[in-house]
Copies of this chain bind each other. A is one copy, B any other.
């Protein structure tokens, strides 16, 4: 019932997301050498120094990144062989976390100013096929589906998984299936990490346009994070952990759209949010181009969160394909 165990190291890796300007961004570290893939902030779990993993995680984040985390949530524990460099003596298990940070209050216009506060990358740079805000991403039909079909020719067992994940043959595109889609692309060797893990350097070229690669399985963790966030938005008010203390409804909607990767119907979104009772007006307004917008803030927790539900967001019609 028991055997001599291989030494195990636990790695804590965190997908830290923020909303900045018009982008949903992820914090990266590393990649000192030119051609090396970047990585999520991470560090080993040291049980003799950190009472819980979350404490350990906050330690590493503080040390490497220095941002305030508004929401922290454990995602998944990955322990697959073959997803880690095999040179290591110990077996590495990685525990992935999702963390959200509030945007700092923007003084006036959503500046494109290159605030050099660390290495933040557009989340959709890693998953171009997940952003439907400008309509159905072209890469799906030019690269992904053909690539998957070619893969299915050799072994059609995954055909149904592909159908469900990518919404073919009458199946719906489900924006929550971020991980399932990434895993299929990995299995079909369409993303760079798969080729790296196979050690087949140079044998096949990674497809272009299939997103930036990350260190080890960090992109998988990021996919899990996005899927979880999209899912959670619908039943828990986590979106507010991406917002600054005061914000307009339009800003809230933009952030929601960034996360969900779809456009929403503005008037209905407003109705939804108002009805939820989460927000309270600050009386102030924010002016930019058109009519000034009312600035809201989250109602104090003392009395909020009656139903604690999220925003039952559903995709309106996508804006006419911006082409």
Contact = CB atoms under 8 A, between A and B. Distances in A.
Interface of A: 1-3, 5-10, 43-49, 51-53, 63, 74, 76-77, 79-82, 91, 93, 95, 160, 164, 170-172, 174, 231, 235, 301-302, 305-308
A77 B51 contact: no
Nearest to A159: B302
| Copies of this protein in the complex | 2
Of the listed residues A51, A77, A308, the one surrounded by the most CB atoms of chain B closer than 10 A to its CB is A77
Given A7-B7, A164-B305, A307-B172, A79 B52 contact: yes
Contacts of A47: 5-6, 8, 79, 81, 91, 93
A75 to B, nearest CB: 10
A164 B308 CA distance: 9
Given A3-B49, A6-B48, A305-B164, A76 B74 contact: yes
B160 A5 contact: no
A2 to B, nearest CB: 7
B1 A43 contact: yes
Contact of A46 (B5, B82, B301): B5
A9 to B, nearest CB: 6
Contacts of A170: 306
A81 B52 contact: yes
Contact of A160 (B93, B171, B301): B301
A93 B8 CA distance: 11
A306 B174 CA distance: 10
Contacts of A46: 3, 5-6
A230 to B, nearest CB: 12
B9 A160 contact: no
A289 B247 CA distance: 61
A95 B81 CA distance: 17
A179 to B, nearest CB: 12
Contacts of A9: 5, 8
A1 B29 CA distance: 13
A53 B81 contact: no
A146 B174 CA distance: 45
Contacts of A307: 172
A157 B171 CA distance: 48
Contact of A95 (B52, B77, B91, B302): B77
Contact of A306 (B1, B80, B171, B306): B171
